Chain A
Amino acid sequence: MAREKEEGKVMAEKLKLQEVEVWDGNMAFAQAMRQAQIDVVAAYPITPSTPTVHGYAKFLSDGYIDGEFVLVESEHAAMSGCVGAAAAGGRVATATSSQGFALMIEVLYQASGMRLPIVLGLVNRALASPLNVNGDHSDMYLGRDAGWIMIDAFNAQEAYDLMLMGFKIGEDLSVRLPVIINQDGFITSHTAQNVKPLSDDTAYNFIGDYKEVNPMLDFAKPITYGAQTEEDWHFEFKARQHKALMDSSKVISDVFEEFKSLTNREYKRVESYLMDDAEVAIVALGSTVESAVQAAKDLRKNRGIKAGVVATRVIRPFPIKEVAEALKNVKAIATLDRSAPGGTMGMLFNEISAALYQSESRPVISNYIYGLGGRDMTQADIKEVYADIVKNAKAGKLVTPLQQFSGLRGPKLSFFN
């Protein structure tokens, strides 16, 4: 396809996509980032998100993107470059995983504090030590207090869709916050699946042109980003930031709704599967959601167990009311956390319990730590969890340990038995 020329400027070439493409999660990320026509990507590739960055850089070298790709010396520098470019007034994104994300942490707080709508594709991977390149949610959990909007994709299609929506959500004038789109390392990021993309024009028009707010490159209005505020000012700025994050729920729902009217693909801040008449429910994140739905269908068909699955699509701002509503009629819940909780219960257990405590319902709730470092969560493992919570549901109280490790070798490991 010939390059269009407009006012002497070389425009990005367009890609003609098929109705159904076979993409892995990384390609889904890279294609969505290409269609967003980002001004600056500063990145330092790391497994398993490397092909996102590689794919994006190749699109740029081949003329499909009119933007800048900045090679940096570390992930700290990558996010710093993103902060600088976003403050300058451009659409900005990057991708990383695990240790790279950990190295970005300091700058993640800077980005959200400066209200810069950077989009970060986070391909979830375990944190060392011991070193591990496979998928778990340690990095996702590490970022949950950083003031970013956090959304989770459970497969490649969702990774594509949510990456597009991430720009529209974060850049909304009432939001102006950075956004992390998560997907599971390898299971999602490296597994080729059918993905239905939008055309380049439809995708770009859905996101819209970037709207500048306080751009540093506006020389008529010099401004300071990253000011120092002590005890007399800091609290007010952080409160305003928190309010914006809490209020972003509505914009997220609106963007999900607009995307549905465009594609007929529905997203909700809390996803419910087989929950209409469910008596027991698993709450999970990532690709495990689909595995749990598969197991629940099987248990319903072959064992008559009314099993359901709930997933917090949006992790920040945490959908406290919606998740309590989704779980209000079940008798027992298992919260599945794919991250070593470091001396307490898993994040999902804590947050789901807190959400339910604000409602009338008191289902029996327990916690499972699973899948660390990419360990498979098999159908048999998930069915064991369901068997446990069926026991809890029948007894009407906790008859299993409060926290158990699933899929672990050695003697059964559990806490608060």
Chain B
Amino acid sequence: MEYKGWDQVEAGAVLPSFNDESCDIVNKKQEERNYADTNSYTASVADWRVFKPVFNKDVCIDCQNCWVFCPDTAIVSRDKAMLGIDYDHCKGCGICADVCPTNPKSLIMFFENDDNDTMLSQWPEKKKKEK
């Protein structure tokens, strides 16, 4: 975002969410919305993440559990198909991985610096049911 001088900033630090009127916003998907620069959607607010969820598309059953439970709308899902993680907003809380019901899990927490492709190539096998 462009830095503005004191005479240019909005009085009272009142920040608009969208660049246009947003009466129908509820019917628009995020990528269709005209977010303002001052909207947190357009900024990374995940700088302090230590662990990140990695998503394995091959195991996912699109149950939407992670989407429902994510406290920061960082699970990207369209038409009930899970697309992945919004790493600009995910804080790494791990709730999505915790509530994932598949076996093995489709979401697993790794260190922030771990490489996603490497982690996906080492994904755990299905656990056998204990008798």
- Report chain B residues within 8 Å CB of A236: 4-6, 8-9
Name the distance in Å between B91's Cβ and chain A's nearest Cβ. 15
Chain B residues near A115 (CB-CB < 8 A): 11-12, 14
B12 touches A222 (CB 8 A): no
Q: Smallest Cβ distance from B30 to chain A, in angstroms?
A: 14
CB-CB contacts below 8 Å: B5-28 with A: 5-9, 11-18, 21-23, 25
Residues of A within 8 A of B38 (CB): 224, 227
Q: Which residues of B contact A91 (CB under 8 A)?
A: none
A416 interfacial by beta-carbon distance below 8 Å: no
Number of residues of chain B lying within 8 A (CB) of chain A: 20
Say whether B21 contacts A221, CB under 8 Å: yes
User: In the complex, how many angstroms separate the beta carbon of B9 from the nearest chain A beta carbon?
Assistant: 5
Compute how far the CA of A227 lies from the CA of B16 in the bound complex, rounded to whole angstroms: 11
User: Which A residues touch B4, using CB under 8 A?
Assistant: 236
Complex CA gap A236/B8 in Å reads 9
A219 and chain B: residue at smallest CB distance: B23
Q: Kindly state the separation between the CA atoms of A239 and B6 in the bound complex, as whole angstroms.
A: 6
User: Quick one: which of B11, B15, B16, B38 has the most chain A CB within 10 A?
Assistant: B11
CB nearest neighbor in A for B3 = A232
Rounded to whole Å, the gap between the CB of B112 and the closest CB of chain A is: 22
B23 CB contacts on chain A under 8 angstroms: 219-220
Instruction: State how many angstroms separate the Cβ of A18 from the closest Cβ of chain B.
Output: 41
Least CB distance, B85 to chain A, in whole angstroms:
24
Interface presence of A243 (CB below 8 A): yes
* A225-B12 in contact given A236-B5, A239-B6, A240-B7 (Cβ < 8 Å): yes
Per-position contact with B for A153-184: 1 when CB-CB < 8 Å, else 0? 00000000000000000000000100000000
Complex Cα spacing A55 to B22, Å: 42
Main secondary structure of the interface of B (DSSP, over half): loop
Known: A220-B22, A224-B38. A214 touches B6 (CB 8 A): no
Q: A111-156: which have CB < 8 Å to B?
A: 113-116
Is A417 interfacial (CB-CB < 8 Å)? no
CB-based nearest B residue for A237: B13
Residues of A within 8 A of B9 (CB): 233, 236-237, 240
Within residues 73 to 98 of chain A, which ones have a CB less than 8 A from any CB in chain B?
none
Q: Which residues of A contact B21 (CB under 8 A)?
A: 220-221
Interface check A229, CB cutoff 8 A:
yes
A239-250 interface bits toward B, Cβ cutoff 8 Å, 1 = contact, 0 = none: 111011000000
Task: Name A's interface SS.
Answer: loop
A217 interface residue (CB < 8 Å to B): no
Report Cα–Cα, A295/B55, bound state, in Å: 83
Q: Are A221 and B22 in contact (CB under 8 A)?
A: yes
Q: How far is the CA of A306 from the CA of B9 in the complex (A)?
A: 51
Does A223 sit at the interface, judged by CB under 8 A? yes
Chain B nearest CB, measured from A65 CB (Å): 27
Q: Is the Cβ of A243 less than 8 Å from the Cβ of B6? A: yes
Q: Which residues from chain B contact A224 at a C-beta distance below 8 Å?
A: 14-17, 38
Contact with B along A200-239 (1 / 0, CB 8 A): 0000000000000010000111111111010011011101
Interface string of A21-49 (1 = CB under 8 A from B): 00000000000000000000000000000
Considering the complex, give the chain B residue whose CB is closest to the CB of A243: B6
Are the CB atoms of B22 and A114 closer together than 8 Å? no
Say how far A149's CB is from chain B's closest CB, in angstroms: 15
Cβ of A245 to closest chain B Cβ, rounded Å: 12
Query: Could you tell me the distance in whole angstroms from the C-beta of B107 to the nearest C-beta in chain A?
Result: 29
Q: Mark B110-128, 1 if CB is under 8 A from A, else 0.
A: 0000000000000000000
User: Could you say which of A113, A221, A222, A232 contacts B13, with CB atoms under 8 Å apart?
Assistant: A113
CB <8 Å contact, A227 and B15: yes
Q: How far is the CB of B22 from chain A (nearest CB, A)?
A: 6
State whether B11 touches A222 (Cβ < 8 A).
Answer: no
- Provide the bound-state CA to CA distance between A308 and B17, in Å: 56
Docked complex Cα distance between A227 and B40 (Å)? 10
> Smallest distance from the beta carbon of A167 to chain B beta carbons, Å?
18
Query: What 6 pairs across the A-B complex have the smallest Cβ distances?
Result: A115-B12, A239-B6, A222-B17, A236-B6, A224-B15, A114-B12
Could you pull out 18 A-B pairs where Cβ atoms are within 8 angstroms? Answer: A115-B11, A115-B14, A219-B23, A220-B22, A221-B21, A222-B25, A225-B12, A225-B14, A227-B13, A233-B9, A235-B6, A236-B5, A236-B6, A237-B6, A237-B9, A240-B6, A240-B9, A241-B12
Could you list which residues of chain B lie within 8 angstroms of chain A, going by C-beta atoms?
Answer: 3-9, 11-18, 21-23, 25, 38
A227-B13, A240-B6 given; 15 more Cβ-contact pairs under 8 Å: A114-B12, A114-B14, A115-B12, A214-B12, A214-B14, A220-B21, A222-B18, A223-B16, A224-B14, A226-B13, A233-B13, A235-B6, A236-B6, A236-B9, A243-B7
